[in-house]
Structure 1
């Protein structure tokens, strides 16, 4: 199977997606390590709610952001494995956002954007695979 040279916008989207997912990795690391910067961004009530999140939630959060970043790196390397890794990220995002929205009532303005971005990345990687931009 041969690959086709992707258009410029493929690279732009892939780089922007990597930046987006890198911000998610940063957010995860700040929350996991309970940094001062993280504590200054949330209220005392929110910190208490976050400290009560189950361990599986933290694992799903980690999978979502690290798989998202890895999937974007794979896109930039033009590997079709990007689709499957981004699909794993999307599934994790759905569990993560579903839990905080429906069980914890902690959703915020970013929640729908995070879900939409994950869905769009899966669709983008699927399209890239179909166009033979990734192999």
Structure 2
């Protein structure tokens, strides 16, 4: 097993925190009461009503897979590559459901589109990092 550079551990910890925040946001989203939903702007209410259940499940796969995959990076385990690939798949499926089928871009606005683009880029970067770490022998 090759020595792991210090930056790798720092990035893995930051990525873990990022994904934990994603889990917090996911649970907050699931716990919205009907009264809280009624207080949202009409466009957001329409987005919540139109999003398919499988897109919500894909969000769960994305955030929980991200947490588990980042833990795998910190533990230096090769399975982190597969788990982060599943997490990225969750992001893509979620985005397809929200932005292609439901047209969430017009309902949620440009900030949501930018945020989801950042989420997608982070997911891609984490998978590439895990693959690089595996190739360099940092993961066992």
TM-score, structure 1 as length reference: 0.88
Q: Which moved more, 1:12-21 or 1:49-58?
A: 49-58
Unaligned runs of 5+ in 2: 106-112
Aligned to 1:132: 137
Q: Deviations over 1:64-111 (max 9, x none)?
A: 110011100111011110000000001111111122121222242111
Aligned to 1:48: 46
Aligned to 2:70: 72
Aligned residues: 132
Unaligned runs of 5+ in 1: none
Poorly superposed stretches of 4+, deviation over 3 Å: none
Aligned to 2:109: none
Q: Root-mean-square deviation (CA), in Å?
A: 2.1
Aligned to 2:116: 111
Separation in structure 2 between the aligned mates of residue 22 and residue 32 of structure 1, nearest angstrom: 15
Distance 1:13 1:35, change over 3 A: farther
Aligned to 1:99: 97
Separation in structure 1 between the aligned mates of residue 51 and residue 3 of structure 2, nearest angstrom: 45
Aligned to 2:83: 85
Aligned to 1:16: 14
1:27 aligns with 2:32: no
Aligned to 2:57: 59
Aligned-pair CA distance for 1:63: 0.6
Separation in structure 1 between the aligned mates of residue 30 and residue 80 of structure 2, nearest angstrom: 26
Q: Which moved more, 1:55-64 or 1:98-107?
A: 98-107
